[in-house]
Structures are given as C-alpha cells and as structure tokens.
Amino acid sequence: NAGVTQTPKFQVLKTGQSMTLQCAQDMNHEYMSWYRQDPGMGLRLIHYSVGAGITDQGEVPNGYNVSRSTTEDFPLRLLSAAPSQTSVYFCASSSRSDTTTNEKLFFGSGTQLSVL
C-alpha cells in the first residue's frame, strides 16, 4: 500500500498561472480533504469530499476548485495562482465515519508551492 500519494513535491508558479495538485489514495477511503499549512497558522481546511461526486468547502476555499470523480483521486486546482497561495499543501484521507465522530486522517507527504 502506498497510502496517500501527492504530486508534485515542489512547484514554482508565476502569478496568474493555473495548475492542478494531484492526490491519490489506495486505501479505499471515502473521505478526502485538502489542507494548506502556513507558518503560525497550522493546517487550514480548503475543501473536502465524503465520497465520489460529493465535495464541500472548508475554511479557506477561495481560489481553489476540487472534484471527486473516483474514490481514489481528489485533485486540487488553482485557477489563477496568487502569491498568497504560496504554502505547503497536504492531502489527507480517512475511512467514512457515521458523522458522530471522525476517523483518523492519513496524510500525504505534501506539495511545497511557491507563487512568484
């Protein structure tokens, strides 16, 4: 099992460029999510999905799009990159709970993104 795989590991963009951060998991997890990590601000939830075809916004969704066409993949799209989106991005997945509690998250190794 590879767990949660993120690509690329590093990326440099110019302001206005678009790109997609890839995330795939091989644990048959229904729940997947994207977080960004900035110094002093911890992990902030961008978007999440509770299953194929279902997505929802987190704390900081502006400037990002997601889709979930399969259980395995949950790509994060930056439509027009801005310097404020310079951050480390983590994808995480878990098995689905009954919503009375949460299952533990498995994180990918992260993508370090710089927007110039």
Residue 110, interface with another protein (CB under 8 A)? yes
Residue 34, interface with another protein (CB under 8 A)? no
DSSP string over the chain = ---EEEE-SEEEE-TT--EEEEEEESS--SEEEEEEEETTTEEEEEEEEEETTEEEE-S--TTEEE--SSSSB--EEESS--GGG-EEEEEEEE----SSS-PPPEE---EEEEE-
The Cα 116–Cα 113 span in angstroms is 10
Quick one: which segment of 12-20, 37-45, 67-75, 78-86 binds another protein (CB under 8 A)?
37-45
Residue 45, interface with another protein (CB under 8 A)? yes
According to CB under 8 A, which residues from 50 to 69 bind another protein? 50, 56, 58-59
Residue 27, interface with another protein (CB under 8 A)? no
The Cα 12–Cα 6 span in angstroms is 16
According to CB under 8 A, which residues from 79 to 98 bind another protein? 90, 92, 96-97
Considering only 93, 108, 113, 115, the residue that binds another protein (CB under 8 A) is: 108
Contacting residues toward another protein, per CB under 8 A: 31, 33, 35, 40-45, 48, 50, 56, 58-59, 90, 92, 96-97, 99-102, 104-110
